[in-house]
């Protein structure tokens, strides 16, 4: 349904301080717009060359990291309109796909892998160029 109303604000969360600040910033914004707030995290499956650790579950780790980031952002006052989504795949392509149904995408300037001197990370640059909705790049708490 191409003309379906877009009613969610998606926030890319990777546990970095920038993504937690973006999540905190997006909560009142989504509420003011009357949209759902979706905290979005992604994970990658293990690759064959990695050391095999049978206890390691990357999806469960991503869910736990998302829960931890939400707790850090809001404490016990989690917005009731917050939805959590954890999906498999690289961050940029999965967020670009998710943006097809979003009213807005909110992300931090750099994630966990960012080089400190860069103004934008590779994921935020990709999303700014390729997302299917407006992208708000939050520069964090100053």
Distance in angstroms (rounded) separating the CA atoms of residues 112 and 33? 29
Distance in angstroms (rounded) separating the CA atoms of residues 58 and 133? 29
Distance in angstroms (rounded) separating the CA atoms of residues 127 and 49? 29
CATH number at residue 131: 3.40.50.620
Domain that holds residue 122: 29-138
pLDDT of residue 62 exceeding 80:
yes
pLDDT tier, 5 (very low <50, low <70, confident <90, very high otherwise): confident
Tokens 């049978």 -> residue = 54
119 occurs within a structural domain: yes
pLDDT in tens, 65-105: 999 999 999 999 999 999 999 999 999 999 999 999 999 99
What total of structural domains would you count in the chain?
Answer: 1
* pTM summary value: 0.86
21 occurs within a structural domain: no
Tokens 């301080």 -> residue = 17
Structure tokens that stand for 59 in this block: 């999806």
pLDDT in tens, 31-47: 999 999 999 999 988 77
2 occurs within a structural domain: no
Distance in angstroms (rounded) separating the CA atoms of residues 13 and 86? 10
48 occurs within a structural domain: yes
Phi, psi of 17 (to 5 degrees): -55, -35
Contact 99, 133 (CB under 8 A): yes
55 occurs within a structural domain: yes
3 occurs within a structural domain: no
Q: What is the pLDDT of residue 140?
A: 73
Q: What is the pLDDT of residue 120?
A: 53
15 occurs within a structural domain: no
Structure tokens that stand for 98 in this block: 């998710």
pLDDT of residue 121 exceeding 90:
no
pLDDT tier, 139 (very low <50, low <70, confident <90, very high otherwise): confident
Structure tokens that stand for 13 in this block: 């969360």
Q: 89 forms bridges with which residues in the sheet?
A: none
Residues 6+ apart with CB under 8 A from 126: 92, 96
46 occurs within a structural domain: yes
């Amino acid at each position: 349904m191409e003309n379906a109303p877009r009613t969610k604000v998606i926030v890319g969360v990777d546990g970095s301080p920038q993504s937690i600040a973006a999540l905190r910033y997006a909560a009142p914004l989504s509420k003011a717009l009357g949209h759902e707030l979706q905290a979005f995290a992604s994970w990658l499956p293990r690759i064959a060359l990695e050391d095999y650790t049978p206890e390691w579950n990357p999806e469960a780790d991503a869910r736990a990291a998302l829960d931890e980031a939400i707790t850090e952002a809001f404490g016990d006052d989690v917005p009731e309109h917050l939805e959590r989504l954890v999906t498999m795949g690289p961050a940029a392509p999965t967020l670009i796909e998710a943006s097809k149904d979003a009213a807005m995408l909110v992300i931090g300037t750099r994630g966990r892998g960012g080089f400190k001197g860069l103004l934008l990370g590779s994921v935020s640059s990709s999303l700014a160029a390729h997302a299917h909705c407006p992208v708000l790049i939050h520069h964090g708490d100053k």
